[in-house]
Amino acid sequence: MNTVLHEFTLPSGQTIQLVHGDLTQEWVDAIVNAANANLQHGGGVAAAILRQGGAIIQTESDAWVHQHGLVSNAEPAYTSAGKLPCRYVIHAVGPVWGEGREDDKLSAAVNSTLCLADQLKLASIAFPAISTGIYGFPKPRAARLIIGAIQAYFDAQPASGLKQVRLTLFDTPTLSAFEEAWQEVIGGKEPV
């Protein structure tokens, strides 16, 4: 069972939630996969999504890459969700730590994912901690960037149809990093 630990409603009406739980069990319009550029879902969050959603996600991912080419930070891909409780999986490519301009690339991955969700007319989405697994992005830094990028998107797009953004995190180290970042970025604004 996924548990909401923190919630903040922006002046424009969108709600950001920090959730402890399993991304593959989220009842939202879309979940975000922390993907690689060729959409091969062999490890981490991607493998969990494929395991729970079924082979159709990989089949559609292969077709996407065949038709559109490699996926970038600035242009995510999307597929159906197979057997998952959501409608779509949006495949966001975050940066590998050490490749250069990592902060910009992570922010772009979050922004472009939210933009695609709006294009798909989605009302709710759940993110993992993009790039913090095998890509090695430091969790505290990624947490601040991801939360900040979500806020920045809605500051720029107050009329967005997205009403709920969940940051759904499973393991304790990642959750702790996001809770600390939540307090830094949102803490003073969150109602007690």
CA distance 148 to 184: 10
Instruction: Indicate if the pLDDT at residue 189 is higher than 80.
Output: no
Asked whether residue 134 is domain-assigned, the answer is yes
CATH number at residue 59: 3.40.220.10
Asked whether residue 159 is domain-assigned, the answer is yes
Query: What is the pTM (predicted TM-score) of this model?
Result: 0.95
| Mean pLDDT in residue range 27-46 | 95
When the pLDDT of each residue in the chain is averaged and rounded to a whole number, the result is 95
Asked whether residue 192 is domain-assigned, the answer is no
Count of domains observed in the chain: 1
Asked whether residue 106 is domain-assigned, the answer is yes
| Mean pLDDT in residue range 24-33 | 98
CA angle at 167 for the pair 165 and 172, rounded to the nearest 5°: 165
Q: Which of 134, 106, 138 is nearest to 45 (CA)?
A: 134
Least confident interval from 1-15, 45-59, 144-158, 176-190: 176-190
Q: Which of 110, 102, 92 is nearest to 165 (CA)?
A: 110
C-alpha torsion sign, points 18, 142, 188, 123: negative
Say what percent of the chain tops pLDDT 90: 93
Provide the pLDDT for residue 188.
61
Q: 133: helix, coil or strand?
A: coil
Main-chain phi, psi angles of 151, to 5 degrees:
-60, -45
Full domain range(s) for residue 94: 3-185
Instruction: Indicate if the pLDDT at residue 51 is higher than 50.
Output: yes
Half-sphere exposure of 38 (CA within 13 A, CB side): 2
Per-residue confidence at 192, pLDDT binned at 50, 70, 90?
A: very low
